[in-house]
């Protein structure tokens, strides 16, 4: 659906012609102008009752973002058009971002000049396009503090990405930041990791992603289990440990000895040194050769081999978050699957095999329910922000420096967070 930006205001709607402000109802509230548009504006095919916007003087038409250039090189790029909104979307003035390995991996693997980088963001809503629908109960308004993650380096939507001054996000995938959660803490929750782990639990491991989902399933909920989260000191590993513990599972993990205490503080029941020559044997002994479910964030040859070795004699499921070598997946009793976090929204991921994912309407419906559970977990303070390093000085150049640290594997047991101003 195309969108338009009426002169003087950011808003959205197909073919909508706005009446002059004096013909519409106009009010001022906390520095925000609320424009009430007549139910049937001239030439509109969409019924809009209320458009919320702030003067475009505060929302520029162009901004700075990190985009891919030739060969996938990531550069801080000025004068990028600010995205226009479609019905049901929010525009967020970005205040803080978190860094993830996909932020450098995507551009390196699929270099496409013009695509916007970055997934995690936290900031303030500056425009709400109509179309949220009363029934959703999402209740976003201009001025709200929000956070979340958006798809990045998106072949079919180049302006989707969080490394930008203004970020567009579909309201159903945005989260309210409670007043007691700073933007830095919201980023340290690691929303992209949370959505990836949720997808891994739901789609591959056959488990509820939240305790609320388990409660709704009642007797039909799968029994709690012992699960190996390989690499538990990684961001995605610490998130997985927390989410599995919230659902009542027993979690075992691997990491370097200097992170043993960290993973236990986040809930791990047992931890093993993945560099120890007896690691696999120790895990098999601990699980009595009955382990069924494994999450491997890395999909490296050594990690795949170890994970396959520790899955018990009856077989199970190997869930990798990175492309792994299928040739190493030799046990017929073990199913293996790659999870692509951005596919959680069910609209498909346009990438070459094996990263491409077809649209999945059922997943789309489930993900909307999951995000309401995600919001509840945040509101109830059940998710703990990861230990983080706030990189300085604020700004996009520091984002690029932080990505170098991730690329060089200089980050252990903490989330890199970068304020933008």
Ligand X SMILES: NC(=O)c1ccc[n+]([C@@H]2O[C@H](COP(=O)([O-])OP(=O)(O)OC[C@H]3O[C@@H](n4cnc5c(N)ncnc54)[C@H](OP(=O)(O)O)[C@@H]3O)[C@@H](O)[C@H]2O)c1
User: Nearer Cβ to ligand X, position 155 or 412?
Assistant: 412
Tokens read off for 22 = 């004096």
Is residue 242 close enough to count as binding ligand X by CB under 6 A?
no
User: Interacting stretch for ligand X, rule CB under 6 A, among 53-61, 66-74, 100-108, 120-128?
Assistant: 100-108
In the bound complex, what is the minimum distance in angstroms from residue 256's beta carbon to ligand X?
3
Residue in the block written with tokens 């601990």: 286
User: Interacting stretch for ligand X, rule CB under 6 A, among 30-38, 82-90, 148-156, 229-237?
Assistant: 229-237
In the bound complex, what is the minimum distance in angstroms from residue 190's beta carbon to ligand X?
8
Answer whether 64's CB lies under 8 Å from 76's CB: yes
Sign of the alpha-carbon torsion through 138, 364, 317, 297: negative
Tokens read off for 300 = 């490296």
User: Interacting stretch for ligand X, rule CB under 6 A, among 22-30, 134-142, 175-183, 234-242?
Assistant: 234-242
In the bound complex, what is the minimum distance in angstroms from residue 254's beta carbon to ligand X?
6
CA atoms within 13 A on the CB side of 414: 15
Is residue 259 close enough to count as binding ligand X by CB under 6 A?
yes
Helix-helix angle 279-286:301-310, to 10 degrees: 30
Q: What angle do CA 212, 199, 124 make, to 5 degrees?
A: 80
Contact pattern from residue 278 through residue 317 relative to ligand X, giving x for each residue in contact according to CB under 6 A and a dash for the rest: -------------------xx-x--x--------------
User: Which one of residues 106, 340, 345, 399 is an interface residue with ligand X (CB under 6 A)?
Assistant: 340
Is residue 400 close enough to count as binding ligand X by CB under 6 A?
no
Is residue 83 close enough to count as binding ligand X by CB under 6 A?
no
User: Nearer Cβ to ligand X, position 236 or 420?
Assistant: 236
Residues 188-211, buried b or exposed e (16+ Cβ, 10 A)? bbbbbbbbbbbbbbbbbbebbbbb
The residue of the chain with the least Cβ separation from ligand X equals 341
Is residue 401 close enough to count as binding ligand X by CB under 6 A?
no
User: Interacting stretch for ligand X, rule CB under 6 A, among 83-91, 99-107, 120-128, 208-216?
Assistant: 99-107
Tokens read off for 8 = 């003087």
Q: Residues with Cβ < 8 Å from 44, sequence gap 6 or more? A: 13, 15, 16, 17
User: Which one of residues 322, 360, 387, 389 is an interface residue with ligand X (CB under 6 A)?
Assistant: 322
| 148 dihedral zone (left: phi>0; alpha: psi -120 to 50; beta) | left
Sign of the alpha-carbon torsion through 404, 182, 239, 357: negative
In the bound complex, what is the minimum distance in angstroms from residue 259's beta carbon to ligand X?
4
Segment 104 to 163, residues that bind ligand X, using CB under 6 A = 105
User: Which one of residues 123, 402, 413, 419 is an interface residue with ligand X (CB under 6 A)?
Assistant: 413
φ, ψ of residue 138 in degrees (nearest 5): -75, -35
In the bound complex, what is the minimum distance in angstroms from residue 263's beta carbon to ligand X?
8
Is residue 412 close enough to count as binding ligand X by CB under 6 A?
yes
Is residue 344 close enough to count as binding ligand X by CB under 6 A?
no
User: Nearer Cβ to ligand X, position 12 or 193?
Assistant: 193
User: Interacting stretch for ligand X, rule CB under 6 A, among 46-54, 107-115, 164-172, 253-261?
Assistant: 253-261
User: Which one of residues 82, 102, 244, 378 is an interface residue with ligand X (CB under 6 A)?
Assistant: 102
- What sections of 247-360 are H helices per DSSP? 260-265, 279-286, 301-310
User: Interacting stretch for ligand X, rule CB under 6 A, among 22-30, 151-159, 255-263, 391-399?
Assistant: 255-263
In the bound complex, what is the minimum distance in angstroms from residue 7's beta carbon to ligand X?
40
Is residue 346 close enough to count as binding ligand X by CB under 6 A?
no
Is residue 253 close enough to count as binding ligand X by CB under 6 A?
no
The whole-angstrom separation of Cα 168 and Cα 150 is 8
The whole-angstrom separation of Cα 288 and Cα 252 is 13
User: Which one of residues 10, 92, 127, 339 is an interface residue with ligand X (CB under 6 A)?
Assistant: 339
Residues 340-371, buried b or exposed e (16+ Cβ, 10 A)? bbbbbbbbbbebeeebebeebeebeebbbebb
Segment 191 to 210, residues that bind ligand X, using CB under 6 A = 193, 196
| 121 dihedral zone (left: phi>0; alpha: psi -120 to 50; beta) | beta
In the bound complex, what is the minimum distance in angstroms from residue 255's beta carbon to ligand X?
4
Reduce the DSSP state of residue 408 to 3 states and report it. coil
- Contacts with ligand X by CB under 6 A lie at 100-102, 105, 193, 196, 231, 233-237, 255-256, 259, 274, 297-298, 300, 303, 321-322, 339-341, 406, 411-413
């Amino acid at each position: 659906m195309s969108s338009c930006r009426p002169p003087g205001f950011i808003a959205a709607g197909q073919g909508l012609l706005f009446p002059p402000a004096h013909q519409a109802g106009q009010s001022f509230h906390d520095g925000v102008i609320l424009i009430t548009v007549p139910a049937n504006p001239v030439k509109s095919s969409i019924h809009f009752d209320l458009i919320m916007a702030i003067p475009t003087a505060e929302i520029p038409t162009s901004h700075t973002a990190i985009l891919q250039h030739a060969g996938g090189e990531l550069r801080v790029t000025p004068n990028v058009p600010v995205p226009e909104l479609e019905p049901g979307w929010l525009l967020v003035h970005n205040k803080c971002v978190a860094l993830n390995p996909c932020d450098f991996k995507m551009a390196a693997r699929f270099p496409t000049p013009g695509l916007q980088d970055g997934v995690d963001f936290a900031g303030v809503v500056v425009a709400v396009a109509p179309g949220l629908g009363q029934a959703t109960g999402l209740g976003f308004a201009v001025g709200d503090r929000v956070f979340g993650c958006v798809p990045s380096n998106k072949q079919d939507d180049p302006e989707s990405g969080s490394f930008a001054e203004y970020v567009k996000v579909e309201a159903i995938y945005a989260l309210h930041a409670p007043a007691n959660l700073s933007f830095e803490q919201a980023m340290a929750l690691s929303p992209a990791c949370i959505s990836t782990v949720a997808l891994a639990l739901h789609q591959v491991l056959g488990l509820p992603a939240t305790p609320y989902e388990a409660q709704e399933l009642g007797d039909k909920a799968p029994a709690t289990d012992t699960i190996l989260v390989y690499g538990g000191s990684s961001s995605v590993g610490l998130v997985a440990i927390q989410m599995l513990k919230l659902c009542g599972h027993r979690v075992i993990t691997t990491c370097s000895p200097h992170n043993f205490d960290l993973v236990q503080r986040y809930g791990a029941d047992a931890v093993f040194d993945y560099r120890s020559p007896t690691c696999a044997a120790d895990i098999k002994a601990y699980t009595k050769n009955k382990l069924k479910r494994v999450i491997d964030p890395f999909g490296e040859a050594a990690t795949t081999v170890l994970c396959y070795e520790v899955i018990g004699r009856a077989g199970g499921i190997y869930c990798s978050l990175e492309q792994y070598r299928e040739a190493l997946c030799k046990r017929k009793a073990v199913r293996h699957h790659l999870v692509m976090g951005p596919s959680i929204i069910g609209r498909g991921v346009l990438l070459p095999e094996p990263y491409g994912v077809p649209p999945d309407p059922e997943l789309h419906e489930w993900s909307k329910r999951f995000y309401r559970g995600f919001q509840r977990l945040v509101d109830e303070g059940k998710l703990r922000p990861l230990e983080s390093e706030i990189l300085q000085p604020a700004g996009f150049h520091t984002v690029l420096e932080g990505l170098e640290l991730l690329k060089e594997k200089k980050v252990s047991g903490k989330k890199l967070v970068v304020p933008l101003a």
